[in-house]
Structure 1
């Protein structure tokens, strides 16, 4: 196996915090900046992991995407793509299901509770048994909130990136569905960036679409999937280049992240994209 490149990304020059970065193709880690084993909070990058656990339950026939879950009239699918009507936090819906894309931590916590009931065990135990252990994500802790409470290393996030590129726990067709726009044409807010007339989302993954400004560079194709978190984290999967990349900083998302991330994601694509 070729050695992993230890590198420095020019785009992170002057960034005043820890900047752990990793890049992988479908087979192996290509490059890492910083300690690949250091564990930091994922914040909302937890959501794609939680979504994967839900999709494993769907694949096992324990859950159906169209079954009722969350607020009245909503389904598992609505919880996964932020169209349940639930607010960021709280149990009182703001809109009818399917009417608007409302980014919701509460929705993902409700999703996890629904999955736990369906599979007959605590959601963290399900995730450990069916996702993190099978993938070898040994430094990932999913005992926190399913919406935003996991911790992990860059090494483990790249393992998950490889899983999304070449899924082993779910069929490729189900992965494709998760990375396809669900309920297209809905207005919604990307926290920290603003409101978009077509706020594209898949199942647990944000899709770049034509949103600008954005945490991904504008050079990325609309189907690029990923997520960023409020503690300065991101994960993206670019199937057009067959790469995935992750970033961890462990500090609240702010202007410094917004400054470097588009340039960093461009640099990653230019150096490692196929």
Structure 2
């Protein structure tokens, strides 16, 4: 593992923890790899992995009713249930708009907890963070945005997404492909897009611009960013995953450094 400093974080006024991995090992880290910080919405891909394990175990089904009337588990996973960012008052019919929803992911956790007969945090610890060895992760908060983890944890999770061990490759592929293409929606902090592409728990880069990933990234690049200044992405075209943690609210400084930082990451490590 290389200890490094990324040029793009120069002048960033907060801690900037960064990590890069390929499918086999950590390639580089900036800062303390074991410092556990809030993930905010980077919690969602981890929650989605727990839901997909429950799907594989046949405890739940992607097509079963979940959330508001007419919605399914899949609608909750790809933000098309009609639920708002927060609350229970639906804003659209299921499958007609991409409405980014914390409420939908909290509903996912509740549904899996009901099916598994245990709190969702216990399910995640038993089926995701424990088996993967994510030693610093704390998953007792809201499934939508309440977890804490370290760079080391997120890189472990990145390797799992690149080479899944807890779910079949086919289910991973489903999670990282466009679900219900052509739906308009908002990426918080970046604006509205006519084709706001998402997989199941993962945002897809698509052709969105401006975006937190550099414009050079392939449309199928999958990941998430969070309101506590965090990001996580998996670039399968380069067999690479990376993560960023700062522990402070997302703002203009994150928007300034993230595109050049993500470009610097793949320029340095994407050709290995």
Task: Give the TM bin, normalised by the shorter chain.
Answer: over 0.9
1:68 aligns with 2:68: no
TM-score, with length taken from structure 1: 0.99
1:92 is displaced (CA, Å) by: 1.0
1:246 aligns with 2:231: no
The 1-side partners of 2:172 and 2:161 are apart by 7
Task: Note the residue ranges of structure 1 that are not aligned, 5 or more in a row.
Answer: none
SS in 2 for 1:71: coil
Instruction: From 206, 209, 231, give the equivalent of 2:206.
Output: 209
Q: Hey, what does 2:136 align to over in structure 1?
A: 139
SS in 2 for 1:83: coil
How many residues are paired up? 271
Q: Hey, what does 2:122 align to over in structure 1?
A: 125
The 1-side partners of 2:177 and 2:63 are apart by 16
Q: Hey, what does 2:19 align to over in structure 1?
A: 22
1:177 is displaced (CA, Å) by: 0.2
Give CA deviations for 1:192-232 in whole Å, capped at 9, x if unaligned.
00000000000000000000000000000000000000000
The 2-side partners of 1:156 and 1:108 are apart by 21
Give CA deviations for 1:57-111 in whole Å, capped at 9, x if unaligned.
0011111000000111000000000000000000111000001000000000001
Give CA deviations for 1:208-267 in whole Å, capped at 9, x if unaligned.
000000000000000000000000000000000000000000000000000000000000
Structure-to-structure mapping, 1:16-95, within 5 angstroms: 16-95=13-92
SS in 2 for 1:204: coil
RMSD: 0.3
Instruction: From 110, 113, 116, give the equivalent of 2:113.
Output: 116
Q: Hey, what does 1:193 align to over in structure 2?
A: 190
1:99 aligns with 2:99: no
SS in 1 for 2:113: helix
